[in-house]
Amino acid sequence: MSGARLPGEKRFVFAEEGPSRVGPVEWLEVAVPEVPDPQYGMYVWPCAVVLAQYVWFSRNTLRGKTILEIGAGAGLPGIVAAKCGANVILSDSAEIPNCLDNCRLSCQINNLEDVPVIGLTWGQISPDLVLLPQIDIILGSDVFYDTEDFENILTTVFYLIRKNPHALFWTTYQER
């Protein structure tokens, strides 16, 4: 990651103290763009930070796993997973190109040009959804925000788990 910052860029540091608790032994710094926009996916929500922290704590089990982040927005949890050695695919609604561009910018800022960003609209069985490789973990931070989306989210997750019976769904949500 370069030292230069983009306007609206937000940085997160994930660290774990060593056994002596003298200081961090392992750490990871990730930057994501935050864009003032009415779209939900253009900035980092608190649940994304919580899920990214969980991904960081689980990092030793992620190397080589294939992870799909749905409703990625700025993509913080997926970016952390990719930095920890997972094969990550970031996705957001195919109907909101600004969010997809924001995901791509997150990848670029973190030198992850090989992370694909695809448009997946919840509740729709699209070619991009059908053609996904085997998935080990589905990430979804704060996707259960708008009750009108719940059925479509669950339809998509159900499809993915049906296609990948061993897959896990890691999600965080904020009670509102």
For residue 100, what is the domain's CATH number? Answer: 3.40.50.150
Q: Cα dihedral sign for 7, 80, 84, 25?
A: positive
Mean pLDDT of the chain: 90
Residue 2 falls within a domain, yes or no?
Answer: no
pTM for the model = 0.90
Q: How far from 112 is each of 92, 93, 144, 158, 173, CA to CA, in Å?
A: 17, 21, 27, 29, 26
Can you give the pLDDT at residue 24? 58
- Domain presence at residue 98: yes
Q: Quick one: pLDDT at residue 173?
A: 87
Residue at 90 is within a domain: yes
Q: Is residue 114 part of a domain?
A: yes
Domain span including residue 40: 9-172
Work out how many domains the chain is built from and give that number: 1
Assigned domain for 4 exists:
no
Q: Would you say residue 21 has pLDDT above 70?
A: no
Among 29-43, 64-78, 131-145, where is mean pLDDT lowest? 29-43
Q: What gap in Å lies between CA 141 and CA 75, rounded to an integer?
A: 9
Q: Name the pLDDT band for 113 (thresholds 50, 70, 90).
A: very high
